[in-house]
């Protein structure tokens, strides 16, 4: 079941890798495309690393959306469909970071916080 949850993370990372490869950043694309292998490590910092990378990836998609939209508007070309597609990809990438907040993945990556027992209140009578 955890694989199904992590599938959106893997797809998001592969899309980001393809994006950077197309932009000519082969090293960055290789690192991002290989990063899903780190999901095999069961540490809390792995989950946080992926959350940060996915949020930064969503911001990169938004930056790309605005850059391409400005160019298309300047050349008087249609841009709405492109904006909707890249907006959906940015939303998908950003929401993929929330997968690590599910109970199953919090247990796998040991990000569950220890529960503190509530103190008993003593009533004044």
Q: Which residue has the tokens 């969503």?
A: 58
Domain that holds residue 29: 2-108
Is 31 inside a domain boundary? yes
Is 6 inside a domain boundary? yes
Is 119 inside a domain boundary? no
Residue 117: the pLDDT is: 58
C-alpha distances in angstroms, 78 versus 20, 61, 65, 69, 109?
24, 19, 13, 9, 44
Is 113 inside a domain boundary? no
Is 124 inside a domain boundary? no
The verdict on pTM exceeding 0.95 is no
Is 50 inside a domain boundary? yes
Q: How confident is the model at residue 63 (pLDDT cuts 50, 70, 90)?
A: very high
Is 120 inside a domain boundary? no
Is 122 inside a domain boundary? no
């Amino acid at each position: 079941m955890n694989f199904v949850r992590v599938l959106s993370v893997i797809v998001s990372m592969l899309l980001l890798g393809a994006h950077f490869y197309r932009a000519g950043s082969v090293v960055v694309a290789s690192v991002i495309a290989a990063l899903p292998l780190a999901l095999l490590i069961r540490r809390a910092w792995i989950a946080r690393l992926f959350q940060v990378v996915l949020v930064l990836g969503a911001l990169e998609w938004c930056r790309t959306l605005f850059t391409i939209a400005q160019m298309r508007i300047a050349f008087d070309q249609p841009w709405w469909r492109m904006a909707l597609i890249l907006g959906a990809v940015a939303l998908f990438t950003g929401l993929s970071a929330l997968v690590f907040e599910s109970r199953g993945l919090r247990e796998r990556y040991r990000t569950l916080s220890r529960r503190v027992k509530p103190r008993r209140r003593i009533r004044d009578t």
